Amino acid sequence: MAKHFQAVRGMNDILPAEAAQWQRLEATVRDVLAAYDYQEIRLPLVEKTELFARAIGEVTDIVEKEMYTFADRNGDNLTLRPEGTAGCVRACLEHGLLHHQTRRLWYAGPMFRYEKPQKGRYRQFHQVGAEAYGMAGPDIDAELICLSARLWRRLGLNEVSLQLNTLGSSAARAAYRERLVGYFTARQSGLDEDSRRRLQTNPLRILDSKNPTMQALIAEAPALLDHLDPESLAHFEELKALLDAAGIVYQINPRLVRGLDYYRQTVFEWVTDTLGAQGAICAGGRYDGLIEELGGPATGGIGFAMGLERLVAMLTAAGRPGADSAPHAYLITVGEVAQQIGLVLAERWRDEWPELRLRLNCGGGSFKAQFRRADHSGARFALILGEDEAKTATIAIKPLREAQGEQVTLPQEQATAWLRTAALDKKS
């Protein structure tokens, strides 16, 4: 037998058994975003490479080594999106969405990064991101954090904590950067290869290193918080007061950085201990410089992105049920006449009750075989259409799960009303 194909490394199938968990997560995310009046924007998976180089920064991990970049047949240099913010800002500028107005937007979908695949880290993964434009904060910063906190509550995820930091104004950062370079330059022998390279290009990012042998050195490094400008300090104090008022618990983490030049003021990350090494489930911050950098007006932006694979893993580990996707009923037809009537009946019932999830037996089979399939389908009821039922325009309904009562026979036109009542009973 020929060897079958395998998916590309780090790019996963989401199989039907897992899809229910994804659906529940996505539905909850949509509800919570709607509760804050965020509007969905749908963006292409592919953008010009230059957009990401400019938006994310030439000297970031993503642009240096993680992008899927290719020339199309026309020779244009394109990249599979590694994140959503760049494309979102690009679309807003292209369509004039930021013209003298504020925007609250969200997007969802696959992102692509050439990383070393491991638990919680993949080459194709999914994010939901939220972005708010035209507001200087810190009120919108606080609201966006409240939104994410509400989402964890709605999902029943308790083992998450919020890390908060501020990166200050770009001037304060530039001064701090000098200090940091001085500190690490004096201790170069303690740096790993990546960090030595970053010392020249992106020294703040050294603070983000996960290398255990460097943690002591990083802990002793000067903290940006101690070198902030008064305006940034005021922004941060006000944000903390708003979060306190809203009952949001946070930890200040002076080493929380986003290594990009356009980030300033607020940065935050939601983390969990329950997922092992890849514990960040949601990361965000203000990026007031980006919109200008991409040719737009000088207007504020803040956003976050969360990793859906990691959230699904948490929900699954916590034993949360997925979306209810089992069929309400499975229609068994015995005999040729019943088979033909069955198809028509099933269509009529779906017209009558659009939410009905009905699986029609296809491919024939004895009553016994069909009954076995009905049971395997997970349906709550088997609808049985035999010769007798076909003649008398009735349908027999047999419960397939425990404690759902006796088999009944009803006129066919009463079937959907009966199933609907049974479905409602289950919910109450």
User: Minimum Å distance from CB 372 to ligand ATP?
Assistant: 40
Yes or no: say if 243 and 142 are a contact pair by the CB < 8 Å rule: yes
User: Minimum Å distance from CB 258 to ligand ATP?
Assistant: 7
User: Minimum Å distance from CB 255 to ligand ATP?
Assistant: 13
- Which one, 137 or 307, has the nearer CB to ligand ATP? 307
User: Minimum Å distance from CB 194 to ligand ATP?
Assistant: 13
User: d(Cα 98, Cα 92) in Å, to the nearest integer?
Assistant: 6
User: Minimum Å distance from CB 339 to ligand ATP?
Assistant: 47
User: Minimum Å distance from CB 99 to ligand ATP?
Assistant: 28
Tell me the backbone φ, ψ of residue 152, rounded to 5 degrees: -60, -40
- Which one, 63 or 243, has the nearer CB to ligand ATP? 63
- Which one, 83 or 261, has the nearer CB to ligand ATP? 83
Q: Nearest CA to 255 among 169, 183, 167, 190?
A: 167
- Which one, 131 or 309, has the nearer CB to ligand ATP? 309
Q: Please, which residues bridge with residue 285 across strands?
A: 267, 303
- Which one, 191 or 207, has the nearer CB to ligand ATP? 207
- Which one, 284 or 342, has the nearer CB to ligand ATP? 284
- Which one, 52 or 349, has the nearer CB to ligand ATP? 52
Query: How many of the other CB atoms lie within 10 Å of CB of 252?
Result: 13
> Would you state the structure tokens that stand for residue 422, as one six-digit string?
């049974």
138: preceding bond cis by omega (within 30 degrees): yes
User: Minimum Å distance from CB 64 to ligand ATP?
Assistant: 12
User: Minimum Å distance from CB 41 to ligand ATP?
Assistant: 18
User: d(Cα 391, Cα 134) in Å, to the nearest integer?
Assistant: 68
The strands making up 39-40's β-sheet, listed across from edge to edge, are 39-40, 103-112, 124-133, 301-307, 280-286, 266-271, 161-166, 251-252
For binding to ligand ATP (CB under 6 A), which residues are involved?
A: 83, 113, 115, 120-122, 125, 127, 280-283, 305-307, 309-310
- Which one, 270 or 349, has the nearer CB to ligand ATP? 270
User: d(Cα 148, Cα 162) in Å, to the nearest integer?
Assistant: 10
- Which one, 88 or 423, has the nearer CB to ligand ATP? 88
The type of residue at 321 is P
CA atoms within 13 A on the CB side of 91: 18
User: Minimum Å distance from CB 117 to ligand ATP?
Assistant: 8
User: Minimum Å distance from CB 334 to ligand ATP?
Assistant: 49
User: d(Cα 236, Cα 206) in Å, to the nearest integer?
Assistant: 23
- Which one, 140 or 306, has the nearer CB to ligand ATP? 306
Give residue number: closest CB to ligand ATP. 307
Strands 251-252 and 161-166: parallel
Radius of gyration for the chain, computed over Cα atoms and rounded to the nearest angstrom? 28
- Which one, 159 or 387, has the nearer CB to ligand ATP? 159
User: Minimum Å distance from CB 122 to ligand ATP?
Assistant: 4
Yes or no: say if 372 and 363 are a contact pair by the CB < 8 Å rule: no
> Would you state the structure tokens that stand for residue 146, as one six-digit string?
């409240």
